[in-house]
Amino acid sequence: MYGKRSRFLTIMLTLGLAFFYIPMILLVIYSFNYSKLVPVWGGWSLRWYKELFQSAEVWSAVSLSLQIAVVNATFATALGTLAGLAMVRFGRFKGRTLFGGMLVAPLVMPEVITGLSLLVFFISLNQLIGWPAERGFATITIAHITFSMAYVAVTIQARLTGVGQTLEEAAADLGAKPFKVLTAITIPQLTPALISGWLLAFTLSLDDLVIASFVTGPGANTLPILIFSRIRLGLRPDINALATIMILVIAICVAIAAIIMFRQQRADLLDRQMAEREES
């Protein structure tokens, strides 16, 4: 829907964007502040970046978080894609309502509930089968996969309904076996959704504090857990520096994802136009 944008709407939009971005911009600016007191300006400096890079604690938290995020994103994309295929392509099957419900609920479920329930689950499991003996990498990754796959499934479902089933049907009519249809048609069609789903799962994992705090064990500190333990006591200039780096990395990732999606959309559009031209 296009149309004229009234002055009121333009003002609200501008205020909204200012509200979104001013806190972040200030956060970045103060990361270059020499002063130990965050809001007191003491001149430009890279002091806190240096301190950050020298902290072994920060590096081990970054490493743990990245490992969890990569494994989580990969498994969540695989499971979320299967779930999305099942929901969109397979019509009605036994337990579809329950499956759909469990697939949507993690999107809104308060994190404290998910975290608490997974922790008691892991503890009960440990009593029952002796695993997981200690909590950390494995338990956090499993917890993250469980809620990330729901987000991936939503992305995949949107793409599957968006591209329709015509190409898959045509391939099947021409004698392609289901597996061939999957690898030659469905997966290439899903590529942009797979990439954005993977990136989404990756950032969700990197971002999670509450669930990780519940299911982690002694010694296994992810980056959000480390940040939280520091900022609970007040403002910390080194956290501003860390935030700046994280914002930069995420902005680059999102920009790449946006470009890929934009190109794919344009390619789809061109394909469609070509097809229409051939038809006529």
Partner 1 sequence: MTDFTDDMSEPLQGERQSMLRLVMRRIQSKWRQIVTVIPFFWLLVFFLAPFFIVAKISLAELAIASPPFTSLIEWTDSGIVTIRLVFDNFVYIWEDSLYFDTYVNSLKISVTSTFLCLVFGYPIAYAIVRSGPVAKPLLLFAIILPFWTSFLLRVYSWMGLLADQGTINNLLIALGIIDEPIRMLYTEFAVYIGIVYTYMPFMILPLYANMEKLDNSLNEAAADLGSKPTNTFFKITLPLTMPGIVAGSLLVFIPATGEYVIPDLLGGGNVQMIGRVLYNEFSRNSDWPVAAAVAIVLLFILVLPIMVFQHYQGKAAEEQ
Q: Which backbone phi and psi does 42 adopt, to 5 degrees?
A: -125, 25
- Interface residue with partner 1, options 45, 55, 60, 109 (CB under 8 A): 109
Site mask for partner 1 (CB under 8 A), range 213-252, x = bound = xx---------x--xx--xx-xx---xx--x--xx--xx-
- 140 contacts partner 1 (rule: CB under 8 A): no
Site mask for partner 1 (CB under 8 A), range 35-74, x = bound = --xxxx----------------------------------
- 121 contacts partner 1 (rule: CB under 8 A): yes
Q: Which backbone phi and psi does 51 adopt, to 5 degrees?
A: -60, -40
Tokens representing 35 are 């002063």
Subset of 80-99 contacting partner 1 (CB under 8 A)? 80, 82-83, 85-88, 90, 93, 95, 99
Long-range (24+ apart) CB contacts under 8 A made by 95-103 are 103/149, 103/150, 103/153
The residues facing 155 across adjacent strands are none
Q: How many helices (H) and strands (E) in the chain?
A: 12, 0
- 111 contacts partner 1 (rule: CB under 8 A): yes
- Helix, strand or coil for residue 258? helix
- Interface residue with partner 1, options 169, 262, 267, 272 (CB under 8 A): 262
* Distance in Å, CB of 107 to partner 1, minimum: 8
Q: Which stretch binds partner 1 (CB under 8 A): 52-60, 129-137, 141-149, 266-274?
A: 141-149
CA distance 226 to 62: 9
Q: Which residues contact 5 (CB under 8 A, 6 or more apart)?
A: 13
Tokens representing 15 are 């205020």
Q: Which stretch binds partner 1 (CB under 8 A): 1-9, 43-51, 54-62, 266-274?
A: 1-9
Site mask for partner 1 (CB under 8 A), range 160-199, x = bound = -xx---------xxxx-xxx--------------------
- Helix, strand or coil for residue 132? coil
